[in-house]
Amino acid sequence: MSRFQIRVPATSANLGPGFDSVGIALSKYVTLDCQPADEWFFSVPEEDQPYIPSGKNNLIYKTALFTAEAMGHEDLPPTYVQLENDVPIARGLGSSSTAVVGGIELADHLLDLGLSRYEKFKIACEIEGHPDNVGPAIFGGIMVSNYDGEHLDYVHFTEGMDDLTWLAIIPDYHLETEKARGLLPVEIEYKQAVNNSGSANVLVAALATKNWALAGKMMQSDRWHQPYRQILIPGFSSFKDILEKEHSLGHYISGAGPTTVALFDEWDEDKRERLEVALEDYQVEPLQVNLSGAETLVLTPEK
């Protein structure tokens, strides 16, 4: 087996009312540099070591093994995996999805499984439970999908997004998805649900027709999850004025938070500098869409 590299993009899920269903792949990456070894080892960047195990309890390994077993294999060839991580952990930018998708790619390459992207997506949904992060991490672009535990349906958009900037406003604290999901109501009133579903429908239609201004407006119309989660993201309510002043089309809590993502169709360095000053307590990163999704690159030829 040759040395190979797997690269998985960060993702931003929900885009407002597209809760558990809509997501986009963004230009931040986890990279796995892989080579044959006598035993499994994940070399983890120092700052991530408290959160990412280096042995077989690593989520990448567990997912790779799950994938192998699902395809009728008992084991995986031991591999040394050097991890480079530009996706902050537990901030709403799909870090756990990068591990899940990275693990599936790893098994696919090590065992030459030849999985289709749809098969990878299905395995990832079984592990993650909802498709909105893993879908774009595998396919790139914007993914609209639904998974009910058995059936997986999706529509994938990749066109017309080159000039958009997705500004990630990243706080310096972690927020576990489980905690942010724990704040959501068990039931929602019928009339409210119809209204929420209408907002989500308009969001998706706006994304599909590249009506970015309307998509931005819909991002802010969400009532499925953002009103309940803001209590855990104290800065969120202060972003509106700052972002509107810079002509952002709209903003939303990325995934389960605490990162906020704001959409811009016009961007320049002056705007970046002003926003860095106005949002000085945050890591502010202007990102682009990633269109290719997860990729595996062979670094040395087979002998």
User: Which residues fall in the annotated binding site for ATP?
Assistant: 88-98
Beta bridge partners of 273: none
Nearer to ligand HSE, 95 or 248 (CB): 95
Dihedral Cα 28, 296, 140, 123, nearest 10 deg: -110
In angstroms, the Cα distances linking 128 to 15, 34, 254, 276 are: 18, 24, 17, 34
- Neighbouring CB atoms inside 10 A of 202's CB total 17
Q: Which residue has the tokens 């309510």?
A: 237
Examine residue 177 and tell whether it contacts ligand HSE (CB under 6 A): yes
In the complex, least distance from residue 267 CB atom to ligand HSE, rounded to whole angstroms: 26
Binding of ligand HSE by 16 (CB under 6 A):
no
What does the alpha-carbon distance between residue 135 and residue 21 come to, in Å, rounded to a whole number?
9
Q: With binding defined as CB under 6 A, does residue 91 bind ligand HSE?
A: no
Cβ at position 64, least distance to ligand HSE in Å:
20
Q: Does residue 254 bind ligand HSE (CB under 6 A)? A: no
Q: Which stretch binds ligand HSE (CB under 6 A): 14-22, 41-49, 63-71, 136-144?
A: 14-22
Q: Parallel, antiparallel, or unpaired: how do β-strands 4-13 and 295-298 relate? A: antiparallel
Residue 30, SS3 per DSSP: strand
Q: How far is the CB of 92 from ligand HSE (least distance, A)?
A: 7
Taking alpha carbons only, the member of 200, 8, 171 closest to residue 94 is 8
CB closer to ligand HSE, 34 vs 138: 138
Binding site, by residue number, is: 88-98
CA–CA separation, 64 vs 74, rounded Å? Answer: 11
Please, which residues bridge with residue 42 across strands? 81
Tokens of 273: 């500098």
Q: Is 222 in the site for ligand HSE (CB under 6 A)?
A: no
- Residue 28 or 130: the one with the smaller Cβ distance to ligand HSE is 130
Query: Under rule CB under 6 A, which residues in 115-174 are in contact with ligand HSE?
Result: 130, 132-133
Q: Is residue 255 a contact point for ligand HSE (CB under 6 A)?
A: yes
Say which DSSP state 41 is in: E
The nearest distance, CB 77 to ligand HSE, in angstroms, is 31
- φ, ψ dihedrals at 119, nearest 5°: -65, -40
CB 232 within 8 A of CB 175: yes
Q: Is 256 a residue that touches ligand HSE (CB under 6 A)? A: yes
Size, binding site for ligand HSE by CB under 6 A: 13
Q: How far is the CB of 166 from ligand HSE (least distance, A)?
A: 16
d(CA 114, CA 108): 6
Q: Could you tell me the smallest distance in angstroms from the CB atom of residue 14 to ligand HSE? A: 5
Which residue, 79 or 97, is less far from ligand HSE as judged by CB? 97
Rounded to a whole number of angstroms, the minimum distance from the CB of residue 75 to ligand HSE is 30
Residues that bind ligand HSE (CB under 6 A): 13-14, 19-20, 130, 132-133, 177, 180-181, 225, 255-256
